[in-house]
Amino acid sequence: MAQVMRVTGAWTGLLRDWLDEEHFDALDLRSALARWSREDNVPVPVWRELIERGVALATGNPAAELSIGACVTPAHVGVLGYLVLASDTLGEAMLAYQRYERLFYGVSIAELEAIDDVIEIRWPPDSSGLGQLGDGVAIAALLTFLQRQMDKPPPISAVSFRGSVDALTASAYETFFGCPVTFEDTYVRVRFPQTYLSISMPRRDPTLRRLLDRQAQALLRALPGSSEVERILQQILLRLLADGEPTLNRAAKAMHMSPRTLQRRLSQHGLSWQQWLDRSREQLAEQYLADPGLSLSDIALLLGFSEQSAFTRAFRRWSGLSPGRFRRGGGEA
């Protein structure tokens, strides 16, 4: 089955924060954003319509979509954003974005290519359906996010869009991006000198990067799922683990169903909530323990345990071994 592009519910916070910044009441739009913010999957047509409603409020701004994108924070992007933040260099950050783009959009569409002394990241024709407003928000957010991580962000070389705009809006785009901007291209493109790839990310944190990389890989593995319900529940569980509160009530609320209904769904697989939670945590723990770069305290944090001793007790219950013994292949505990 073909992959369908979407955005995450956290991304709708970008538009909400822009409404706050511009002091727009927009109660109907805020209500719609609040509803979709709780979803893991927001269909692209819905996101386009929400952007259109927001932009229509900014009658004096010819490129309001860029202002929306400029409100971006790590909270809007989730684990993908934190992976970028934890990267050593701009080049590593771009590769992290390309590798884990599917966490954000549900599909992998970005292409990264070196062309002479220029690096181009591009999104192919008909790959997103975001439209010019959606593409404007996305590229403004991507570049703003990256530039805010550098003390003196260098200028980019060029930006291209598939859509068309009027002359006033085109001028606003060039002012915002600080480079030539082309419209009616076959791709959405961002170009910058290849030398930029070696620029250090000042907030780099190798330990955080390893943690986030493992979590992102676990999220990617959770996406296919054996059923739609289980796939959604896996994604929700990983978010609840990050919050340290993986309870039946919180999971049911995130899935917009009663705890009784969720438990009934799980019982169809012969599992209680606690059995499903333990099984999922055990599977993740085994993946994490295979990575020597993760300490036992790191793993306890990823699995939502308040302290390492709680994780150790749980792992002994699941496997009959301590985490350390399991990691050593059954050697001395």
Whether residue 134 sits in one domain with residue 25: yes
| Average confidence (pLDDT) over 195-221 | 80
pLDDT in tens, 272-288: 899 888 988 888 898 88
**Is 333 within a domain?**
no
| Average confidence (pLDDT) over 179-194 | 96
| Average confidence (pLDDT) over 34-56 | 91
| pLDDT value for 5 | 84
Return the higher-pLDDT residue of 304 and 239: 304
pLDDT in tens, 105-139: 878 889 999 998 999 999 987 666 889 999 999 99
| pLDDT value for 38 | 76
- Of 198, 223, 253, the position where a domain reaches its end is 198
Whether residue 122 sits in one domain with residue 216: no
Whether residue 109 sits in one domain with residue 79: yes
**Is 313 within a domain?**
yes
pLDDT bracket for residue 151 (50, 70, 90): confident
| pLDDT value for 331 | 45
**Is 332 within a domain?**
no
**Is 272 within a domain?**
yes
**Is 1 within a domain?**
no
**Is 122 within a domain?**
yes
Whether residue 218 sits in one domain with residue 134: no
**Is 315 within a domain?**
yes
CATH of the domain at 244: 1.10.10.60
pLDDT bracket for residue 333 (50, 70, 90): very low
% of the chain at pLDDT higher than 90 = 44
How far apart CA 103 and CA 8 sit, in angstroms, is: 8
Structurally, the chain folds into a number of domains equal to 2
* Average pLDDT in the chain: 87
% of the chain at pLDDT higher than 70 = 93
Instruction: Tell whether the model's pLDDT for residue 226 goes beyond 80.
Output: no
**Is 149 within a domain?**
yes
Give the range among 101-105, 180-184, 231-235 with minimum mean pLDDT.
Answer: 231-235
pLDDT in tens, 245-269: 789 998 888 888 899 999 998 888 7
CATH of the domain at 101: 3.90.1520.10
Domain interval for residue 157: 6-198
For the question of whether the overall pTM of this predicted structure is more than 0.85, the answer is: no
Whether residue 223 sits in one domain with residue 177: no
- Of 198, 220, 249, the position where a domain reaches its end is 198
Whether residue 129 sits in one domain with residue 54: yes
Give the range among 88-92, 230-234, 313-317 with minimum mean pLDDT.
Answer: 230-234
Whether residue 186 sits in one domain with residue 44: yes
Whether residue 44 sits in one domain with residue 84: yes
pLDDT bracket for residue 2 (50, 70, 90): very low
Whether residue 221 sits in one domain with residue 286: yes
Whether residue 226 sits in one domain with residue 136: no
Among 22-26, 229-233, 242-246, 252-256, name the most confident range: 22-26
Whether residue 89 sits in one domain with residue 107: yes
pLDDT in tens, 90-99: 999 898 888 8
pLDDT bracket for residue 181 (50, 70, 90): very high
Whether residue 249 sits in one domain with residue 114: no
Instruction: Tell whether the model's pLDDT for residue 1 goes beyond 50.
Output: no
| pLDDT value for 332 | 45
- Of 198, 217, 234, the position where a domain reaches its end is 198
| Average confidence (pLDDT) over 52-58 | 97
